[in-house]
Amino acid sequence: MAYGDDRNRGFRDNREPREMFDTTCSDCGKECQVPFKPTDGRPVYCRDCFQKHRPADRDGGNGGRRQRY
Ligand SMILES: [Zn+2]
């Protein structure tokens, strides 16, 4: 079930150039890898959950401003 959305990336052809760290997602609890060293006490999310948890919809409800610098 978890496989199937990776068809765009042939990850048996190339090794990842970045160093990846094994960790467990703090949301769904599945094993994943992150491109940074997991810090104790901070939640780490897999890619799917990271998308859910990223603070993107903070201003998205009112349809006004989407970007601010
Ligand atoms: Zn997750």
DSSP character string of the chain: ---SS-TT--TTTS--SS--EEEE-TTT--EEEESSPPPTTS----HHHHHHHSTTSSSTTSSS-----
* Per-residue pLDDT, 1: 60
Q: Report CA(48)–ligand 1 centroid distance (Å).
A: 6
pLDDT digits (tens, 9 = 90+) for 11-65: 566 665 778 899 999 999 999 988 888 888 889 998 899 889 887 666 655 555 6
The rounded Å distance from CA 50 to ligand 1 centre is 7
Whole-number Å distance, alpha carbon 62 to ligand 1 midpoint, is 28
How confident is the model at residue 26, as a pLDDT?
93
The pTM of the full predicted model, rounded to 2 decimals, is 0.50
Q: Where are the domains of the chain?
A: 21-53
| pLDDT value at residue 24 | 93
* Cα 39 to averaged position of ligand 1 atoms, centre (Å): 16
